[in-house]
A and B are shown apart, each in its own frame.
Chain A
C-alpha cells in the first residue's frame, strides 16, 4: 500500500471507530438480545413498521453510515492484527483483501439501500 494512501484508511478507521463505539452496542442489545428474549414488545420489529422506518431517506443514510464505516474500521484494524500475529509476508495481500471486503460491503449496502 503506497504511503500516500494511509491517511484515507486511517480517517475511515477512525470515523468507523467512533460510529462503532456510539451505535453498535445499542443495536446489538435491542435487536440481537432484548427483542429475541421477549423483553421488548413483540411487534417492536414488525415488518410494516420497519419498512416505514426504512422508507425515510435519513434512515437509509443512517444505515449506510452504520454499515460502511465500521467495515473500514474492521479492515484497518484486522490488517494490522494479522501482521502482529506474524503474517508479515503477506502484508500487501492482506491489505487488499481487508480493504477490498470493506469496499465490497459498502457497495452492497449502497445497492441494498438505494438500488
Chain B
C-alpha cells in the first residue's frame, strides 16, 4: 500500500531524526576516521597525476606545478593534511589493539606500543624530505 502523500508534511526532511553517526561524539569521530580514507585516496591520485605530467614533459609538468599554487589547491591540501594526520594518529592508536604484546604474564602497556610508531613516523618523514629536497 502506498503512503498517503497528504499526510506527509512538506518539511519531512528537516523533521527526520539525525543519522546515527551524528547522535554521539564517538560515532561522529568514527565516521571522520573512516572518511580519512577518501582524502588519502584522493591525494595518491593527485600524486599519480603529478608523475604522469612529469612523464609527459616539461610543459605539462610545469602546468601541474602552477595548478598546485592556486588557492583552491592549497586549501584542499590543508584539509587533506588534517584528515591524513587524523588517519595517522588513529591508526597508531589501534596498534595495541591489533597486537597485544605480552612479556611473560604482563601485558605491555599500550603507550609503549604506540610510542615507537611516532618515532618511526618522524624518522621516515625526515628521510622522505631529505630525498625530495636534498
Q: Which residues of A contact B (CB under 8 A)?
A: 17-18, 20-33, 35-37, 40-41, 44-45, 47, 50-51, 53-54, 63, 66-67, 70-71, 73-75, 77-78, 80-81, 84-86, 105, 108-109, 112-113
Contacts and interface: CB of A to CB of B under 8 A. Distances in A.
Given A25-B88, A73-B37, A80-B34, A32 B121 contact: no
17 contacts: A21-B92, A22-B88, A22-B124, A23-B128, A26-B124, A26-B128, A27-B128, A30-B129, A36-B69, A37-B74, A67-B44, A71-B44, A71-B45, A73-B41, A77-B37, A85-B21, A112-B55
A47 B61 contact: yes
A36 B87 contact: no
B50 A24 contact: no
B61 A105 contact: no
A36 B48 contact: no
Nearest to A44: B133
Contacts of A25: 81, 84-85, 88, 121, 125
The 4 closest A-B CB pairs, nearest first, are: A32-B77, A74-B41, A77-B37, A26-B125
Contact of B54 (A21, A27, A50, A105): A50
A81 B77 contact: no
B125 A50 contact: no
Interface residues of B, number: 49
Interface string B92-123: 10000000000000000000000001001100
A22 B124 CA distance: 7
A70 B44 contact: yes
B29 interface: no
A70 B124 contact: no
A20 B84 contact: yes
A113 B55 CA distance: 9
Contact of A21 (B38, B46, B55, B88): B88
A67 B38 CA distance: 13
A66 B32 CA distance: 22
A20 B87 contact: yes
